[in-house]
Amino acid sequence: MILFLDFDGVLHPDPCYDASRLFENAPRLAHTLRDFPDVRLVLSTSWRQSRPYEHLLARLPVELRERVAGTTPTFGDFTPSAALVPYRRQAECMHWMQQNQPTGEAWLALDDRPSWFTPYCENLIACHPQAGFDEHARGWLRSALQRHFRRQDSELDLPIG
């Protein structure tokens, strides 16, 4: 399972005028993911466009840093399908999946901008920009991950033949 991670509006409020609040929700996300060791993170945050990869990693708690599998490409660096042109963040996520997970692995995205995804995108866990990854978003993510891994486990139990 791939989890695309935005920073602003997810790991801290957007806008965040108080530097002491930057990444305040990162420990909550790290704690939530402890029960799901097979979840890998891909950074989809706009921070990737202006900061070095090492700087992005350094801002994360070690529990999250160890899960990071890379960053999404920037929208202008590839040609998205016409249907995804209005939905830049989803197009970036889908392009990363096509380039790195050709087997069709499942994915989710934590983001505070639902307008950057197709309407009713089932892969999106939308955070409120001022609250970020709060208890509501945590419950939503946890539920989605439990459904995914339960379904995956039940598929492994199917008889062969």
Domain ranges of the chain: 2-156
Q: Which of 38, 108, 48 is nearest to 72 (CA)?
A: 48
Rounded mean pLDDT, 75-95: 95
Q: How far apart, in whole angstroms, are the C-alpha atoms of residue 94 and residue 98?
A: 6
Nearest to 76 by CA among 51, 57, 43, 49: 49
**Would you state the CATH architecture of domain 2-156?**
3-Layer(aba) Sandwich (3.40)
**114-154 residue pLDDT tens:** 999 999 999 999 999 999 999 999 999 999 999 999 987 76
H/E run at residue 89? helix 88-100
CA 108 and chain centroid, separation: 6
Which are the contacts of 134, defined by CB distance < 8 A and separation ≥ 6?
A: 25, 28, 127, 128
pTM for this entry: 0.93
Summarised one tens digit per residue, pLDDT across range 22-43 is 999 999 999 999 999 999 999 9
Dist CA 138 CA 155 (whole Å): 26
